[in-house]
Amino acid sequence: MEILGGPHFAVAGAGESHGPAVTTIIHGSPPGFRIRRCDVQPFLDRRRPGGNKHGTPRNEKDKVVFLAGLYRDDTDALLTGSKLTVDVDDQSFETEGYEDGFTTGEPIAAIVLSTSKKSGDYTQFSGPTGEVRPGHTDLVKFHQSKGFVDVRGGGRSSYRSTITDVIGGSVARIILRECFGTRFVSSICQVGSLKSKQSLADTLTIDNIDEIETSLGEAEIASIDHEFANEAGELIKETRKRGNSLGAAVEVVAVGVPPLLGQPLYQSLKVRLMGALGGLNAVQSCEIGSGVDVIPRTGSENNDPIRSSGYQSNTHGGLLGGITTGSPLVARVGFKPTSTINLPQDSVNKRLDEIEFELAKGRHDPCVGVRAGVTLESRMAIELLNSVLAYQATAHCGDSIKLF
Amino acid sequence: MEILGGPHFAVAGAGESHGPAVTTIIHGSPPGFRIRRCDVQPFLDRRRPGGNKHGTPRNEKDKVVFLAGLYRDDTDALLTGSKLTVDVDDQSFETEGYEDGFTTGEPIAAIVLSTSKKSGDYTQFSGPTGEVRPGHTDLVKFHQSKGFVDVRGGGRSSYRSTITDVIGGSVARIILRECFGTRFVSSICQVGSLKSKQSLADTLTIDNIDEIETSLGEAEIASIDHEFANEAGELIKETRKRGNSLGAAVEVVAVGVPPLLGQPLYQSLKVRLMGALGGLNAVQSCEIGSGVDVIPRTGSENNDPIRSSGYQSNTHGGLLGGITTGSPLVARVGFKPTSTINLPQDSVNKRLDEIEFELAKGRHDPCVGVRAGVTLESRMAIELLNSVLAYQATAHCGDSIKLF
Amino acid sequence: MEILGGPHFAVAGAGESHGPAVTTIIHGSPPGFRIRRCDVQPFLDRRRPGGNKHGTPRNEKDKVVFLAGLYRDDTDALLTGSKLTVDVDDQSFETEGYEDGFTTGEPIAAIVLSTSKKSGDYTQFSGPTGEVRPGHTDLVKFHQSKGFVDVRGGGRSSYRSTITDVIGGSVARIILRECFGTRFVSSICQVGSLKSKQSLADTLTIDNIDEIETSLGEAEIASIDHEFANEAGELIKETRKRGNSLGAAVEVVAVGVPPLLGQPLYQSLKVRLMGALGGLNAVQSCEIGSGVDVIPRTGSENNDPIRSSGYQSNTHGGLLGGITTGSPLVARVGFKPTSTINLPQDSVNKRLDEIEFELAKGRHDPCVGVRAGVTLESRMAIELLNSVLAYQATAHCGDSIKLF
Amino acid sequence: MEILGGPHFAVAGAGESHGPAVTTIIHGSPPGFRIRRCDVQPFLDRRRPGGNKHGTPRNEKDKVVFLAGLYRDDTDALLTGSKLTVDVDDQSFETEGYEDGFTTGEPIAAIVLSTSKKSGDYTQFSGPTGEVRPGHTDLVKFHQSKGFVDVRGGGRSSYRSTITDVIGGSVARIILRECFGTRFVSSICQVGSLKSKQSLADTLTIDNIDEIETSLGEAEIASIDHEFANEAGELIKETRKRGNSLGAAVEVVAVGVPPLLGQPLYQSLKVRLMGALGGLNAVQSCEIGSGVDVIPRTGSENNDPIRSSGYQSNTHGGLLGGITTGSPLVARVGFKPTSTINLPQDSVNKRLDEIEFELAKGRHDPCVGVRAGVTLESRMAIELLNSVLAYQATAHCGDSIKLF
């Protein structure tokens, strides 16, 4: 099923790049946590196309409207914020979205409309003679769906689907922060051949996180190494002009992580994070903790010593046997250069006739990694909350449950 | 997770009685099936409150808007039908819903707004001193959610959640009918002590189904026994006047059912149908085939003889070992009398202080079984399509898959 | 997947009537509960063929051997009990099974060998010209598996698969009893047309349960109405002589049930129990609480009044909105007369050639309901523990988790 | 749940390093595929401890016994091979395991006994004052299970659990090879700082696979670069003598892969492979296709050109949008140096008292990557077959299903 996380805390999504809206249903949120639209919107703003000048020129406001799963007796506070109108069969129906309420434990639903759509740009890809963009899903999706694929802007394979990840992840972060003080931060650490000289994992602590979050939030290229960020910005600008694209790598770190999470073995938090982070659009490498750097080390160099105060180093990236140790969760995710480029390439159409492919129209991210941070943080939060619930389920099995 | 069916064809839902909208995501629809809003709406019209004079006085039009999972290159035909507007943060965003498109194989999303809400009616039930309606979930939901329950109209436990069942079920029926000619019909066979003298199972065939469907569609009480239907209508009217409520039983039959469906043993179609039909709001009995009538029979009386043309009788209700035989799927589902009545009853408030409960305000169904038919048909269709996909997965495992 | 319960507490099973063994893996058991082979074996003894003179003549001892998921530092106590030897490729390998240990939180595995197998009895059913027993899965299984079905004794569809239900259910009962004092009892309340004059639901309480369990344990026909039990025993004997079979109904009741369990709506405990109990081999009706008796009642007759001490009656059978109220869980399950009879019947072979079917050989239960009680109790326990874990997961989400 | 793959083809496992046996249940195998014990055993032989002089000195024969899910009317051929004896309660029970049969579509079960157990070696780790091996799960498992962890040899976290992966993977490979000619090969490409100069992905084709498989099968260090293999062997020997351990990297490649597999987006084959391969014990990096090497490339350098004959290069590693293109599936997995070393390290006991840790006894792999190849191949095969079934389910939804 189209589900992130689960079976305890799970996020279902639907929606395509140029469809009417992206729809999200969040299963398994514990009751009693305050969710305000204004607390979720900023995460979507970090993700939205048009929010970052190095991203795609497409400009969507991506305003979230909550439709279910929140409540408070003060229904004015609950409902004053967004209005939803449906005009259909010559009738008009109106309702208010949820603005500020508490999770009831029931499924939470939200939609984000897609309004800045130039569907005409994509006729180049329609039908059996539609052209195939090398590196894209055009060919496999067309044949997997027997020709019924939505070609506009990449359809469901488009990065727009990650609106669901960010809505689900935002609710998860709000709950994790309130319960454990957990925080999630990401920093771009490579663009093309340019590499950051600072690692987020070595820098971030519970004490400096506010400051780092603010500075990353304001940066064009969200990296803790400002010098690298500026160079990377220039490189992206230049590459866009040449009609080409760039790869990137992003560090994702969570601090204030509860220990002992991640069960059972085959669904450990490492299995889940490697899948969720490594499975994101355009990703081709995922590393936990020191990642590939552990391979040349010996055991004595790599093992993290332990003292009564905790693990003295974090090569394990916060996971041992797929279980959290309480040390920061550290992952580094590598993105391929965006497939869509404005340069001629050998390709085929959907019927496999050979063509020389040149992009007619369409707005694209020259470096998808640049906007991916908040999505990676969101996916990490979803999997972490899911494993919190799995842990609490068995840890408190015998706790008394009373009604009368 | 809040999922009907699955893991192949699965329907996720969210939304409460007085929430902004009911949201539905359908997972696993095969690609290439034409879904038109106008083909789904009639099923919702059969379900909607206000569509049947014997139901609740609440009047909702329940117009469905499709937001994802459909496509056709002719985007005018795809999009001309419904318009969705969101007003938020002093900005207005507009998009068109899907009107007529083909399933892409991606998740399908739809919403139905809730607009006829008298939330004020439910203050009687709010907070820790809120009153508890005997027979309702008020008390258990309040404590299960640590007090964060949405009390308006029964919240998520309200029958309104079955909008999702009917949307998912309608998509399933359209696909099953196109693939196998499968049809689903239900008929009310008991209201209070009044019993229908005709059984749908004994009457319905592929040949007379159009005629039966039309007559049931026009009836106030959808029963193939018109005489019984009239008497039942009178009984319901009279019971409503007395502020009381009635139980009911509904027969659900599917014809044109493909054989060999239902695997594996622990997830057989019988396990799934007993759960899906027997688990519906207010249901306390579920029977397959001859149901309780098989108990007093001997094996020789009950076994259905088999000839080359098929099973000669259908005590097994279309399932043997939880696997479809191709005979009609037959189930009979018993509903308790609606819990909400306008008569004094011994009860408590949420803090367990004893009270004499009397309903202040609120609009209710005196006989919930009357509107349940289309929901039962929908749940049967969802589980049947799920088992079709399970069968096809292993039956065609070795079939070649080519691209180049 | 071949899973009972889940996703929190889930029981996977494998094994056919005449296969080498029935294998069981239990997922999600909380850590720290003492499981002794001698505490589980009695439940299997209640189920085993040959343990009840009114059941099948087949005689299996069904000794369980635990292979994983238990531990204690005192490995002598852990391991002294059963020995497992494998002879293969001219080598012999030996190990000891777990006798008495504590759940580690890891998957628990167990096997029960099948040794009393007269596989020759079933040549009558082999291959494309194999004969079809009316009421059985022979025909649908043969074609569903493209002819690769194991025909011996009903293969996987055989009641022997319920060894897994009972092993999983026994572990669940041990945990539920230790945590909440929950107990599960079943009583046969109908055999053919004979009906018990006493209902278990009206009789059983936490105070008299020991006495009732003992008397049921000793009875040939486990019913609280001894007079009915004797008559039923006679009726079964007589029916067996006539080569025929009988239906039955079994009441299943759980007392000491924790309240507030069963979430979310689409996976409520009612959905799960109706599916698990109603989905069992040979079952064609499942009722919760007063079952079909609620239909003719009015709301005022049926609603259970509530006082500070609790629900004053239990027409709801312990579930409102699919959520436990703390009142006893009550279900009544109807079994068809066993399909296999020693009387001539119209049937076909697997190629649909018409035959006059007569059973050549084979040992069968004339009344499968007689042995079903412990399996129904087990399935109820599995689903109840699964819902306990689901409740605890969200109820304790914010509880602190510390390591250093 | 403790499940690899799923929900179509899923493998459940149970068993600890020093438990009686490792138990495996395979769900969803299509019917009609011939499985012989002698076809599965060689894969286990590649995995087993004691089968590779560079691995652990522990020597287990790991003979598999099949207990369910296979059948053929020729029961002699089905059963002549292995014998299973249980001695319990002063009685002896005997049965034969399945030797050579056809999948029935029912769950397949198998066990492998653990017989070479020196449980005494692990008293150093027992109880609250038991010592913690840096880099191991000792501490987190002890507290996650409230002290009820099985400390012997790493309990469930031990590499021994991968017996299940290899049994499930072997059945999957047999089916995939028969259906599509799919083959899976792995080659060690890095040990410590030593790197192979040949890449399996650049070398392996359908034509040379037999030759390569044979040479890898005979090698002490299974790498296509023999020179590198010899140097690596020496390095491991030397490292073992120094009481230390080494990291490693393994390439896994599948050829003859059907295209169009991997749906839906959130459960794409990339999500699944990154999770399954990247989640394996001791892994800290997982790369698909060119992996980290894509990051510094531009789009024009990285996009694989397409001609009518197929993709002209394979930087995408056989997956675009998480969907197979038919090109070889390529992954590279990095293992940390084994945590257990014979050198003093700063650590704590389970109560967090600080200790200087030195290994008393115990047999360990100095370089876990050396034995991991067959497990990685197995996990890739399980996920690939699962996605084949998902594809066939929707691709053939409308295909007719007939019985009469």
- Examine the pLDDT at C54 and tell me if it is beyond 80: no
Q: Which candidate from B95, B105, B140 shows the least CB-CB separation from A20? A: B95
Kindly report the pTM of this predicted structure: 0.98
Is there a contact between C308 and B1 if contact means CB atoms under 8 Å apart?
no
Please identify, in words, the CATH class of the domain defined by C3-391. alpha beta
Q: How many CB pairs under 8 A join C and D?
A: 260
- Binding partners of B (≥3 Cβ pairs within 8 A): A, C, D
Contact D308, A355 (CB under 8 A): no
- At D173, list the tokens: 């490979």
Q: Is C47 annotated as a binding residue?
A: yes
Please give the mean pLDDT across all residues of chain C.
95
Give chain D positions within 8 Å (CB) of A274: 274-275, 277-279, 283, 286
What does chain B come to in residues? Answer: 404
Q: Which residue of B has its CA nearest to D7?
A: B7
Tens-digit pLDDT profile for residues D241-263? 999 999 999 999 999 999 999 99
Please give the mean pLDDT across all residues of chain A.
95
Mean pLDDT of C294-302: 98
Per-position pLDDT tens, chain A of length 404: 999 999 999 999 999 999 999 999 999 999 999 999 999 999 999 998 877 777 777 788 999 999 999 999 999 999 988 999 999 999 999 999 999 999 999 999 999 999 988 767 688 999 999 999 999 999 999 999 999 999 998 899 999 999 999 999 999 999 999 999 999 999 999 999 999 999 999 999 989 999 999 999 989 999 999 999 999 999 999 999 999 999 999 999 999 999 999 999 999 999 999 999 999 999 999 999 999 999 999 999 999 999 999 999 999 999 999 999 999 999 999 999 999 999 999 999 999 999 999 998 766 779 999 999 999 999 999 999 999 999 999 999 999 999 99
Q: Which residue of C has its CA nearest to A309?
A: C404
Q: What is the pLDDT of residue C400?
A: 93
Give chain A positions within 8 Å (CB) of D23: none
Is there a contact between C104 and D404 if contact means CB atoms under 8 Å apart?
no
- At C182, list the tokens: 């929950």
Is there a contact between A392 and C393 if contact means CB atoms under 8 Å apart?
yes
Min Cα separation B7/chain C (Å): 9
Q: What is the pLDDT of residue B199?
A: 97
Tens-digit pLDDT profile for residues D207-237? 999 999 999 998 999 999 999 999 999 999 9
Backbone dihedral angles phi then psi of residue B170, each to the nearest 5 degrees: -65, -45
Q: What is the pLDDT of residue A362?
A: 63
Is there a contact between D105 and B263 if contact means CB atoms under 8 Å apart?
yes
Indicate left, alpha or beta for C281 from its phi (over 0: left) and psi (-120 to 50: alpha): beta
Q: Is D297 annotated as a binding residue?
A: no
The model's confidence at residue D363, banded by pLDDT at 50, 70 and 90, is: low
Q: Which candidate from D7, D180, D259 shows the least CB-CB separation from B7? A: D7
Tens-digit pLDDT profile for residues D267-315? 999 999 999 999 999 999 999 999 999 999 999 999 999 999 999 999 9
Residue given tokens 């050639």 in the structure block:
C353
The model's confidence at residue D50, banded by pLDDT at 50, 70 and 90, is: confident
Q: What is the pLDDT of residue A117?
A: 80
Q: How many CB pairs under 8 A join A and C?
A: 126
Indicate left, alpha or beta for A67 from its phi (over 0: left) and psi (-120 to 50: alpha): alpha
- Examine the pLDDT at C144 and tell me if it is beyond 80: yes
Decide which of D87 and D122 is more confident.
Answer: D87
Q: Is B339 annotated as a binding residue?
A: yes
CATH number of A3-393: 3.60.150.10
Residue B232 CA neighbour count, 13 Å, CB half: 35
- Examine the pLDDT at B240 and tell me if it is beyond 90: yes
Contact C6, D1 (CB under 8 A): yes
Burial (CB count within 10 angstroms: exposed 0-12, middle 13-18, buried 19+), residue B374: buried
Q: What is the pLDDT of residue C25?
A: 98
Is there a contact between C264 and B156 if contact means CB atoms under 8 Å apart?
yes
Min Cα separation C161/chain B (Å): 9
Is there a contact between B31 and D394 if contact means CB atoms under 8 Å apart?
yes
Question: Alpha carbon of C197 to those of B46, C124, C230, C316, D324: distances in Å?
Answer: 43, 42, 13, 21, 64
Tens-digit pLDDT profile for residues C265-284? 999 999 999 999 999 999 99
Is there a contact between A348 and D308 if contact means CB atoms under 8 Å apart?
yes
Residue by residue, what is the 3-state secondary structure of D69-128? CEECCCHHHHHCCEEEEEEECCEEEEEECECEEEECCCCEEEEEECCCCCHHHHHHHCCC
Q: What is the pLDDT of residue C302?
A: 98
The model's confidence at residue C363, banded by pLDDT at 50, 70 and 90, is: low
Chain centroid to CA B211: 22
- Any bridge partners for residue D194, and if so which? D191
Return d(Cα D201, Cα D23) in angstroms, integer: 34
- Examine the pLDDT at C362 and tell me if it is beyond 70: no
Kindly state whether C295 is in contact with chain A, defined as any CB-CB distance less than 8 angstroms. Answer: no
Is there a contact between A192 and D141 if contact means CB atoms under 8 Å apart?
no
Mean pLDDT of D367-375: 94
Mean pLDDT of D343-372: 91
Q: What is the pLDDT of residue B59?
A: 82
Q: Which residues contact D211 (CB under 8 A, 6 or more apart)?
A: none
Backbone dihedral angles phi then psi of residue B283, each to the nearest 5 degrees: -85, 140
The answer regarding whether domain B3-392 maps to CATH 2.60.40.10 reads: no
Give chain D positions within 8 Å (CB) of B268: none
- Examine the pLDDT at C112 and tell me if it is beyond 90: yes
Q: Is C158 annotated as a binding residue?
A: yes
Between positions 81 and 120 of C, the ones with CB within 8 A of D are: 81-89, 91, 93-98, 102-109, 111, 113-115, 119
Q: What is the pLDDT of residue D362?
A: 62
Q: Which candidate from C140, C249, C301 shows the least CB-CB separation from B295? A: C249
Q: In degrees, to the nearest 5, what angle opens at C-alpha C150 toward C-alphas C148 and C154?
A: 135
Return d(Cα A64, Cα A24) in angstroms, integer: 10
Question: Minimal CA–CA distance to C318: which of C376, C270, C388, C250?
Answer: C270
Min Cα separation B40/chain A (Å): 14
- Examine the pLDDT at D57 and tell me if it is beyond 90: no
- At D387, list the tokens: 């996605």
Report the residue of A111, A118, A143, A349 to disrupt the B interface, i.e. the one with the largest count of B CBs within 10 Å: A111
Contact D126, D96 (CB under 8 A): no
Tens-digit pLDDT profile for residues C154-165? 899 999 999 999
Is there a contact between B87 and A82 if contact means CB atoms under 8 Å apart?
yes
- Any bridge partners for residue A320, and if so which? A323
Q: Domain extents for chain A?
A: 3-393
What percent of chain C has a predicted confidence (pLDDT) above 70? 98
Return d(Cα C247, Cα D85) in angstroms, integer: 37
Is there a contact between D259 and B395 if contact means CB atoms under 8 Å apart?
no
What percent of chain C has a predicted confidence (pLDDT) above 90? 91
- Binding partners of A (≥3 Cβ pairs within 8 A): B, C, D
Is there a contact between A401 and C259 if contact means CB atoms under 8 Å apart?
yes
Tens-digit pLDDT profile for residues B195-220? 999 999 999 998 999 999 999 998 99
Question: Minimal CA–CA distance to A44: which of A127, A121, A128, A111?
Answer: A111
Is there a contact between D278 and A288 if contact means CB atoms under 8 Å apart?
yes
Q: What is the pLDDT of residue B362?
A: 62
Kindly state whether D312 is in contact with chain B, defined as any CB-CB distance less than 8 angstroms. Answer: no
The model's confidence at residue D358, banded by pLDDT at 50, 70 and 90, is: very high
Contact B357, C305 (CB under 8 A): no
Min Cα separation B322/chain A (Å): 24
Kindly state whether B140 is in contact with chain A, defined as any CB-CB distance less than 8 angstroms. Answer: yes
Is there a contact between C279 and B353 if contact means CB atoms under 8 Å apart?
no
- Examine the pLDDT at C113 and tell me if it is beyond 70: yes
Q: Which candidate from B326, B388, B398 shows the least CB-CB separation from D397? A: B388
What is the b/e burial string over C327-343, where b = at least 16 CB atoms within 10 angstroms of the residue's CB?
Answer: bbbbbbbbbbbbbbbbe
The DSSP secondary-structure symbol of A52 reads S
Task: Report ipTM (2 d.p.).
Answer: 0.98
Is there a contact between C299 and B348 if contact means CB atoms under 8 Å apart?
no
Q: What is the pLDDT of residue A29?
A: 98
Kindly state whether C238 is in contact with chain B, defined as any CB-CB distance less than 8 angstroms. Answer: no
Q: What is the pLDDT of residue C305?
A: 98
Return d(Cα C157, Cα C169) in angstroms, integer: 19
Mean pLDDT of C83-89: 96
